[in-house]
Amino acid sequence: MSKNKEIAHSLEQTTYHIEKGVVEKTTTPVNLMLVEKKTKTDEQWLILWQGDGEMGLDYLSTCDSLTGADFKVFFKLLKALRHGNEVLVNQVGLAKEMNLSQPNLSRSIKKLLEAGVILPGETQHGPHKSYTLNPCIGWKGTLQQGATEKRRHLRLVKTSQNEQKGG
What's the pLDDT band for 23 if we cut at 50, 70, 90?
confident
The one-letter code for the residue type at 58 is D
The one-letter code for the residue type at 83 is H
| Per-residue pLDDT reduced to its tens digit, 54-96 | 678 888 888 899 999 999 999 999 998 988 899 988 888 999 9
Q: Who has greater pLDDT, 167 or 136?
A: 136
- The fraction of the chain above a pLDDT of 90, given in percent, is 28
Q: Who has greater pLDDT, 103 or 8?
A: 103
What separation in angstroms does the CA of 154 have from each of 51, 76, 136, 148?
14, 25, 8, 10
Report the pLDDT averaged over residues 109-136: 88
> What predicted TM-score, i.e. pTM, was given to this entire model?
0.69
The CA distance from 137 to 146, in Å, is: 10
